[in-house]
Structure 1
Amino acid sequence: MKASVEKRLLRYLFINKQTITFAFIALIIAVALELTGPFIAKQVIDRHIVGVQTEWVEVTDNNDHHTIELNGRFLKRYDRLDDNDTVKETVTFVQVQRDYYLAEGTIPKGETLRISDDGSLIVLNDVTFRAEKLSAAAAASFFAPEVRPILSWLALYLGLIFIASIFQYAKTYLLQVHANHIIETMRNDVFATVERLPMRYFVNMPAGKILARVTNDTEAIKELYVRVLETFVNGFIYMTGIIIALYLLNPTLATISLLLLPLLLLFMRFYKTYAGKYNTVIRSVNSDINASINESIQTMPIIQAFRRTNDRADEFEQLNDKHYRYQKKMVALSALTSYNLVNVLRGVAFLSFIWFFGNQSLSGTTVISTGLLYAFVDYLTRLFEPMTQMVNQLPQLEQARVSAARVFDLLDEETEEIEEDDLPRIKGDVRFDHVTFSYEKGETVLNDLSFHVSPGETAAFVGHTGSGKSSIMNLLFRFYDPDKGSVLLDAIDTKTLTRQQTRAHMAIVLQDPFIFTGTVISNVTLNDPRISRDKAIEALKAVGADRFIEKLPRKYDEPVGENGNEFSTGQRQLLSFARALAFDPAILILDEATANIDSETEGMIQEAMNVLSTGRTMLVIAHRLSTIQHAHQIIVLNKGNIIEKGTHASLLSKKGSYYQMYKMQQSGMQTSFD
């Protein structure tokens, strides 16, 4: 049973448990340090700012920094008294409206006060207290002892913030490095899977769609680990810390705030359902767009030559319009819910906050301090910051989840094992023994086919399109295995060998030679350390490619662009021949290697073929019958059956199918034998 996409993403997350553990620890420490701010602010407000408005006592002398002098009296806060202090009388420092007063006696905190008409009395209900209005300078003296502790608290907070910034840096660095390492690992896994996919997969899947999964989809997953992961991990830990802090301040209100989280989770569930559907279509259409663009670029000469540009544009526009429509649905879903949701939750939280504290204050059951109010507002404000960030990352999360599903589908494809077991060089004996093969069930391509090619011989295969010529080569290279019968190399059934052993001593030259980006030399060696530079140059000279390479500015080190477009078809084919010769195969396959060559270049190619055929078995799929006249045997195919076999001379003498093909080419008639 396959694991869910989420579980598989988690497996990649923990490919380096040590790094992710250190990152989480650093994050927790950073969050804990940052969340001390409101607590420190509460202490500063309640104890050192609002807390100054409390009982003060007159003492006999000024014995420490907590004592102030006012009009010849030494005053000290009641909560700062120690055993050495001698108390004379009690006064209260209070604020009434905008003015400060020093009242005789003790006035309870949190009470509503008013001033008498003459300004000499403070009235609390029906009780009066004699009071003295203080000047600004006199009032400031009561705050003077608090400057030092306030600065100490602020210094502590700055220190904690600095330490938190170090842990935040460590967290960000570790998570980002780990995220990029995950994507590196995933891309390596994807590319390794692509290299092991059977040929059937590439036949059924357009190259653009495969490219989209390796590049676009993994890039979307990268954003998941690089940005979304950090946002969600940081958000959940931050919110957890805030909830804990709220519980320390007031458990009841913290519980009310905690009820908001299930609403957020329900919304994320709702979003996942609809966004997942939209993103599945978007990613699929995006792959179709890539495939369409890739095909258009590859076939642009044909499109323009047959004046099909408008049709291709219409096809592309339909895909693009579908992509736009579903993107619009995604935008509508995100716009409708993201900011609106957080704003609603924020409003509910603040209404609960106002109702709870307001009700307690009005009922007189609890006196709420200013510092506590500030701390709660600060924490509630902070609570919705990560919530907003997380909700805003939901589109990216869903896009990454859908992309991950597509990537994992590719990784789950049945692959072929790559085993680099050495196989001693074979002699080159090739035998097909009653081979039957079909690409699709019920559509037989080769019917009970049998033939034998001895070591060192050249065998040519001719026939009309669909006769089975290329299928023989596909079976020989083990791109596919026969449905019935056996393919034998030196009397060894290829099914008993690994695919790499089967191909170890074979090489192929295709009708459309592929030239890699690099240099002339690297296209011959394919960067295989077993092929030396001297051996590559020797191979190039042997096939006659040195005639045009020596004219290049940098000769054998000349840079080669994509698919070698700076070279003619014949020159690219010579490079392919040199590549095959450099690897010194026991069996060489030429798949329509001369089909697209002009008459002048054909002579050079024929010379190269003569060089290549020396000392090795060569199987040729022939288009031009003039190039195979010296083959040891020519096998004529028709609908997967061998209808004629022999040398060029013997087949002409029979005046059968081969004779008709040859006469048609000799007379200049245009016939396709593909």
Structure 2
Amino acid sequence: MKTGRRLTSYALNYKKIILVALFLLTISVGTDLAGPFIAKNIIDQHILGIESVWNETTNGKSTAEYQGEFYKKEKNFSDNEEKGKEIRILQVGTKFVFMDEKLEFDGKRTFEQGILTVQKGDEKVNYNAKVLTNKELMAFYKLEIPGIIKLLIVYFGLLVISAIFQYGQKFLLQKSANRIIQKMREDVFGQIQRLPIQYFDNLPAGKVVARITNDTEAIRELYVTVLAQFFTSAIYITGIYAALFILDVKLAAICLLLLPILYGWIILYRKFASKYNRVIRSRNSDINATINESICGMSIIQAFRREKETETEFEKLNTEHFTYQNKLLSLNALTSHNLVGVLRNLVFVAFIWYFGGLSLNPASVISLGVLYAFVDYINRLFNPVQGIVNQLANLESALVAGERVFSLMDEQGEKVSTKRIERFCGNVTFDHVSFGYKEGEYVLNDINFEAKQGQTVALVGHTGSGKSSIMNLLFRFYDCQKGKIFIDGMDIINIPRQTVRNHMGIVLQDPYLFTGTIVSNVSLGDPSISREMVEKALKDVGVDRVFKNLENGYDEPVIEKGSTLSSGQRQLISFARALAFNPAILILDEATSSIDTETEAVIQEAMDVLKKGRTTFIIAHRLSTIRNADQILVLDRGKIVERGSHEELMLLKGKYYQMYELQKGNASLAG
């Protein structure tokens, strides 16, 4: 499905709000566009209405007195009312003159020595006329004041209605846009939870963050500003063209040429803007990734004096981002205002040419009110056109952002299962398992072993031998390419990943703590784990002996990654976290490798109690910590080369013996 359709499908989730907003927008536009028609009537019927045909009558309603006689506009006579002598009041320069003759035609007017001359082309007619004083003129004009006031009240009322409905439509459109983005962000974040671990192996965290925040914010701009502007402009343009066709069909038809020109320009603009925006958003993600990586590794950067090199790498990305931003800026500068200015001038040229031609035809009379309405509507026409052109950059940015967001959402993921099964007994079997992170490159080959309930199984070997990969498969962070893994006789491939992990606990070599407190980091917000359970888990791992002087006790604040705590303190919290969930299978992945000897002794004491009734897997470099393991698996290049208890392996005098003696010798030298 194309990006535009998918963005539309999101909007349709809130179609009721959007339709109400568009209805309010239509009313707002209709009331706003009625203004020029009212102004036309004020000019033609009232301000210039004094030049209408007047007839002599008796004193009464809507009559004006002049030199003892009463006059009324011809249009104000009823059907059965008798009309008297026809008179006209005409403006000549700054003067108004009274003539009691019928005007044969209108044209250029001159007045001299009581004679009014009207000339149209080669035709010329003279009339006897008198100049009206201000008082005499006001006798005729005061009849128009009630009508002008009435129309002005209507005009003001329409403006108020337009403003109210304009507020309503903007509020509803922005409300719907915020809801759309809220749902989209929830969907994207939910998709991240469904993605397998290997997806994040090749995608920096900063790039994922950019798609959830920056890209969705660009899409929000699409709904809040771009589409609102496009909807508003479309309705305004439709209303203005309807008004123009009512006023004059031919000129309105000429103005229709704007639409294909505007459409063609949009197509041409998007061709270049789309390319620039793709690069801009891609570099923006790269910048986020670089910043995230730099902050996380700042201690290493400063320790190895790599500040200048890191800054150079950042500047390279930032310069490329700046370059394409400038290209897009140049494209916008060359198009938006310039395009609209050219189109506006072309329309006014057509306007002048058209009305200039009409003025040469004696049979064609165009009122000043119609001219005013046309100029007003044409000026108004270019406001929505300007709005559309100005929003093209945001449109392209949003569409490119949409492509990036939807590409993430299209990644193959798995539904997060809430299914729960009874607690495992803890019997684990690896049946001839082979696995590789890349296709055809196996890091585990024919792994075959069994761990019974309550046993402790230790995995040892040099770096890269496959120890952690075995645990990744057991936790279903990855799935094996060959063989099967069973827990209590159940093939884990047939159990949802979340369900498999429900009765497992893990302590990593580098524990991750979240922003919160010690308590929240142990319970992870799980309502089934009470405060009492958290405190018991903390005490069981001997936290009291390490956290002696905490001001807030177990409610001590923990910032991101627990950077204010020592590695031993973080590890103890991570250990308590695993125990609080009461796992049937406990995995300790190099859990004591970065801990001081005193803290390690605390954990070792707790482990003797905690291992009872649990199947425990220990990945350890310190072989002295696994002497009591029920089974030790020695791995080398992805294969199990030795297996047995500590005593059995020492009698073999093989690889395990060599590793143990080497560590023992190093420990003696260190002592």
Q: Same fold (TM over 0.5)?
A: yes
The AA in structure 2 aligned to 1:655 is K
**How far apart, CA to CA, are the structure 1 residues paired with 2:32 and 2:23?**
14
**How far apart, CA to CA, are the structure 2 residues paired with 1:239 and 1:463?**
74
The AA in structure 1 aligned to 2:127 is F
Give the aligned partner of residue 585 of structure 1: 583
User: Judging changes above 3 Å, is the alpha-carbon distance between structure 1 residues 126 and 321 closer, same or farther for their aligned structure 2 residues?
Assistant: closer
**How far apart, CA to CA, are the structure 2 residues paired with 1:272 and 1:97?**
53
Report 1:474-623 matches (<5 A): 474-549=472-547, 551-623=549-621
The AA in structure 2 aligned to 1:91 is I
**How far apart, CA to CA, are the structure 1 residues paired with 2:668 and 2:361?**
104
Give the aligned partner of residue 125 of structure 2: 127
Report 1:329-408 matches (<5 A): 329-408=327-406
What is the aligned counterpart of 1:157 among 134, 150, 155? Answer: 155
Give the aligned partner of residue 224 of structure 2: 226
Secondary structure (helix, strand or coil) at the match of 2:48 reads helix
Report 1:209-358 matches (<5 A): 209-358=207-356
- The answer to whether structure 1 residue 13 and structure 2 residue 11 are counterparts is yes
**How far apart, CA to CA, are the structure 1 residues paired with 2:166 and 2:292?**
43
Contact 2:635 2:641 in 1 (8 A): yes
Contact 1:591 1:622 in 2 (8 A): yes
**How far apart, CA to CA, are the structure 2 residues paired with 1:75 and 1:546?**
107
The AA in structure 2 aligned to 1:615 is G
Secondary structure (helix, strand or coil) at the match of 2:143 reads helix
Q: Deviations over 1:469-527 (max 9, x none)?
A: 11101110111111111000011110111112211110111111111111111111111
**How far apart, CA to CA, are the structure 2 residues paired with 1:267 and 1:83?**
56
**How far apart, CA to CA, are the structure 2 residues paired with 1:611 and 1:56?**
113
The AA in structure 1 aligned to 2:458 is A
Q: Deviations over 1:393-430 (max 9, x none)?
A: 11111111100000000000000122211211110001
Q: Deviations over 1:231-270 (max 9, x none)?
A: 1111111111111111111111111111101111111111
Contact 1:459 1:633 in 2 (8 A): yes
**How far apart, CA to CA, are the structure 1 residues paired with 2:667 and 2:218?**
54
Give the aligned partner of residue 95 of structure 2: 99
What is the aligned counterpart of 2:432 among 428, 431, 434? Answer: 434
The AA in structure 2 aligned to 1:312 is T
Contact 2:114 2:128 in 1 (8 A): no
Give the aligned partner of residue 77 of structure 2: 81
**How far apart, CA to CA, are the structure 2 residues paired with 1:384 and 1:98?**
34
Contact 1:289 1:316 in 2 (8 A): yes
Q: Deviations over 1:358-404 (max 9, x none)?
A: 11112334111100000011011011001111111111111111000
Give me the TM-score of the superposition, normalised by structure 2. Answer: 0.97
The AA in structure 1 aligned to 2:313 is E
Secondary structure (helix, strand or coil) at the match of 1:444 reads coil
**How far apart, CA to CA, are the structure 2 residues paired with 1:341 and 1:670?**
83
1:549 is displaced (CA, Å) by 4.3
Secondary structure (helix, strand or coil) at the match of 2:448 reads strand
Contact 1:122 1:131 in 2 (8 A): no
The AA in structure 1 aligned to 2:146 is R
Structure 1, gaps ≥5 residues long? none
User: Judging changes above 3 Å, is the alpha-carbon distance between structure 1 residues 378 and 526 closer, same or farther for their aligned structure 2 residues?
Assistant: same
**How far apart, CA to CA, are the structure 2 residues paired with 1:201 and 1:337?**
41
Give the aligned partner of residue 166 of structure 1: 164
Q: Deviations over 1:160-190 (max 9, x none)?
A: 2212222112111110000000000000000
Report 1:179-198 matches (<5 A): 179-198=177-196
1:136 is displaced (CA, Å) by 2.0
**How far apart, CA to CA, are the structure 2 residues paired with 1:409 and 1:361?**
61
Secondary structure (helix, strand or coil) at the match of 1:145 reads coil
**How far apart, CA to CA, are the structure 1 residues paired with 2:216 and 2:582?**
39
User: Judging changes above 3 Å, is the alpha-carbon distance between structure 1 residues 110 and 661 closer, same or farther for their aligned structure 2 residues?
Assistant: farther
1:658 is displaced (CA, Å) by 1.2
**How far apart, CA to CA, are the structure 2 residues paired with 1:121 and 1:283?**
73
Secondary structure (helix, strand or coil) at the match of 2:485 reads strand
**How far apart, CA to CA, are the structure 2 residues paired with 1:252 and 1:605?**
91
- The answer to whether structure 1 residue 39 and structure 2 residue 37 are counterparts is yes
**How far apart, CA to CA, are the structure 1 residues paired with 2:326 and 2:294?**
27
Give the aligned partner of residue 137 of structure 1: 135
Give the aligned partner of residue 68 of structure 2: 72
Contact 1:520 1:560 in 2 (8 A): yes
What is the aligned counterpart of 2:649 among 648, 651, 654? Answer: 651
RMSD of the alignment, in Å? Answer: 1.6
Contact 2:117 2:124 in 1 (8 A): no
Contact 1:103 1:122 in 2 (8 A): no
Aligned length: 666
**How far apart, CA to CA, are the structure 2 residues paired with 1:135 and 1:522?**
91
Structure 2, gaps ≥5 residues long? none
The AA in structure 2 aligned to 1:517 is T
Contact 2:109 2:116 in 1 (8 A): no
Contact 1:592 1:622 in 2 (8 A): yes
1:610 is displaced (CA, Å) by 2.6
The AA in structure 2 aligned to 1:340 is N
1:548 is displaced (CA, Å) by 4.5
Secondary structure (helix, strand or coil) at the match of 2:328 reads helix
1:56 is displaced (CA, Å) by 1.6
User: Judging changes above 3 Å, is the alpha-carbon distance between structure 1 residues 454 and 54 closer, same or farther for their aligned structure 2 residues?
Assistant: same
User: Judging changes above 3 Å, is the alpha-carbon distance between structure 1 residues 285 and 121 closer, same or farther for their aligned structure 2 residues?
Assistant: closer
Compare 359-368 and 222-231 and name the one that shifted more.
359-368
Contact 1:577 1:608 in 2 (8 A): no
Contact 1:60 1:87 in 2 (8 A): no
1:71 is displaced (CA, Å) by 2.1
The AA in structure 1 aligned to 2:441 is E
**How far apart, CA to CA, are the structure 2 residues paired with 1:53 and 1:411?**
70
The AA in structure 1 aligned to 2:95 is D
Q: Deviations over 1:574-600 (max 9, x none)?
A: 111111111000001111111111222
The AA in structure 2 aligned to 1:119 is G
Contact 1:54 1:109 in 2 (8 A): no
1:461 is displaced (CA, Å) by 0.5
**How far apart, CA to CA, are the structure 2 residues paired with 1:123 and 1:576?**
101
**How far apart, CA to CA, are the structure 2 residues paired with 1:664 and 1:18?**
74
**How far apart, CA to CA, are the structure 2 residues paired with 1:479 and 1:629?**
29
**How far apart, CA to CA, are the structure 2 residues paired with 1:82 and 1:314?**
89
Secondary structure (helix, strand or coil) at the match of 1:432 reads strand
**How far apart, CA to CA, are the structure 1 residues paired with 2:661 and 2:70?**
129
User: Judging changes above 3 Å, is the alpha-carbon distance between structure 1 residues 136 and 547 closer, same or farther for their aligned structure 2 residues?
Assistant: farther
Give the aligned partner of residue 442 of structure 2: 444
**How far apart, CA to CA, are the structure 2 residues paired with 1:527 and 1:496?**
28
1:205 is displaced (CA, Å) by 0.9
Give the aligned partner of residue 107 of structure 2: 111
**How far apart, CA to CA, are the structure 2 residues paired with 1:257 and 1:416?**
55
Give me the TM-score of the superposition, normalised by structure 1. Answer: 0.96
Give aligned-pair identity as a percent.
51
**How far apart, CA to CA, are the structure 1 residues paired with 2:152 and 2:486?**
84
**How far apart, CA to CA, are the structure 2 residues paired with 1:469 and 1:217?**
39
User: Judging changes above 3 Å, is the alpha-carbon distance between structure 1 residues 571 and 611 closer, same or farther for their aligned structure 2 residues?
Assistant: farther
Secondary structure (helix, strand or coil) at the match of 1:443 reads coil
Secondary structure (helix, strand or coil) at the match of 1:420 reads coil
Give the aligned partner of residue 2 of structure 2: 4
